[in-house]
Amino acid sequence: MRELFADMNTILVYALLFVVTLITAYILLALRNAFKKKETQKKKKSPRLGCIVSLILLLTAIALFSTAAYLRAFHAFTKQQLVAFVQCRPTPIELADFELVFIPVIDGVQQQPHTFPLKGDQWTVEGDILKWENMVTFVGLHTMYRLTRVAGRYSDVKSAESKQVTPYTLVAGQNNGFWRFLYNIGERLPLIEGVYGNSVYSYPAYGYYYKIYVTTSGFSTEKKSKQGDTLMDEVANELEFPRQ
């Protein structure tokens, strides 16, 4: 049930729940009218019984509305949008510690893959996040994001201070004015809760790959066991058969 609502368009969900509510209310009203007609024919009037039926109708409508609101909130605040695949592999380059294969995903469509030689004992993917107010998220507008950088990372602070890092931009040639504007005054604009940088990082694990998501608050990652021969095989499989 959760996957069904997650895959459906927000407007379609509301329309479906509205139709179900109307049908249920119509059935209850029809039953009430039939019961009242039967009682009238028997000349047995019971105002108290009519009030009870009306109360049941009201409670049913409230229950349906509450269920619809819960399902909408559950979907809105637990949604994860797949934005990239990452895989680490050994590199023949002496000046790098490992190689990172990075494949961005936009609206469920695989983009051009990139390979980056990295120095460090971890990889990191960074980006910009625009977090909406809860009400905006509730009605279906998901977190706005931009992936900006891939880099190597040292988990040890002393190594980070003394050794070379290897950052690579993902926004070369893009105009950064819009996001700089959001950073400066975004939180003062209506409907926006915050604008900030965010990153996700982990150790390279050969034989595995990582899926990177954007959630309602920032980036997250999921480690997956590699089944195909290449990361491209994994991407094709994942995008053809979405995560259950």
> What's the per-residue H, E or C state across 15-60?
HHHHHHHHHHHHHHHHHHHHHHHHHHHCCCCCHHHHHHHHHHHHHH
Determine the average pLDDT of the residues in 224-242: 77
Q: Is 76 exposed, middle or buried (0-12, 13-18, 19+ CB in 10 A)?
A: buried
Per residue in 142-185, pLDDT (tens digit) is: 999 999 999 999 999 999 889 988 999 999 888 889 999 999 99
Q: Where are the domains of the chain?
A: 2-77, 79-240
Structure tokens at 109: 């469509």
pLDDT in tens, 173-229: 888 899 999 999 988 899 999 999 999 999 999 989 999 999 998 999 999 988 777
